[in-house]
Amino acid sequence: MSELVIDVRGLNKSFGAKHVVRDLTLAVRRGEIYGFLGPNGSGKTTSIRMLCGLLTPDSGSGTCLGYDILAETAAIKREVGYMTQRFSLWDDLTIRENLDFVARMYGMRDRKRMVAEAIDALGLGDRREQLAGQLSGGWKQRLALAACRLHEPRLLLLDEPTAGVDPQARRDFWGEIYRLAARGISVLVSTHYMDEAERCHRLAYLFDGRLLATGTAREVVAQQKLAAWSITGPDLVTLVDRLLGQPGVEHTTPFGTALHVTGRDASALERTIASLALGPDYRCERIEAGLEDVFIGLMDGARSGPPQ
């Protein structure tokens, strides 16, 4: 796990006046599942495209799979599998034809055998002659994963691969990701789902092109030193209005039938909760802050900070 497959420093990318990625420094180890998180427009996709040689950084340096990200992009592309946000294979080709076409693009020898093995490995055998355009989201996802790992890459870059698929398909997908990582393949995956973030070995959270936090899920939560309370009871919407601007209260976020109240000044927050003098229909409980609490806090804090 000590070998770095991604080691980049100070990457920047702008499109016109828009500074999309700002001084990104990132290290990903061999066999690691690394989660890339952040809201839409935070710079995740642009960062991934710079790592795999599809975009040239305006500044910065580093390596991907030991190759220089500025000078050796062709070599990087040969050893990276990139799964885009949108299904990018051909709807009017069958599963087998799509994979055979990809194998030909990579100039793979014995491509029929490799295609057959990829189809079997991801459970696509019964559908091999089905048109890709007729597949559901979950089956398209399996096909896309089969295509991006067909040439046996050492690194997979997966850009929101489970968006729009059902929970069972997501579970199956992550089972395959763990099997690949166990074989020493590194995976960098962007996601909006907190349960998926918690499955990653380490995380990076981006907002407005900046890396705001990195580490394991436990480390990211601990770094923020966020106190949290859960309040259940009637009329929580009115309670939010009462809490806004009170000492220690930084964020109030509905979670199902509960309201999470968080802040970094634990003592002030506890005093505010006690001062509410809520009746017996309410329950107030100190809880551990979760990843979603932390990311909401990071995002709101970055938005309210001074302009950069």
Domains of the chain in sequence order: 4-215 (3.40.50.300), 222-304 (3.30.70.260)
pLDDT grade, residue 129 (50/70/90)?
A: very high
Q: Which of 14, 11, 3 is nearest to 62 (CA)?
A: 11
Spell out where 38-106 has E strands.
59-64, 67-68, 80-83
Residues ≥6 apart with Cβ < 8 Å to 91: 131, 132, 133
Give the whole-angstrom CA distance, residue 250 versus residue 56: 39
pLDDT of residue 303: 67
Lowest mean pLDDT among 52-56, 62-66, 271-275, 299-303: 299-303
Buried b vs exposed e over 287-306: b needs ≥16 C-beta within 10 Å?
eebbbebbbbbbbeebeeee
Q: Which of 98, 193, 200, 109 is nearest to 144 (CA)?
A: 98
- Average pLDDT of the chain is 90
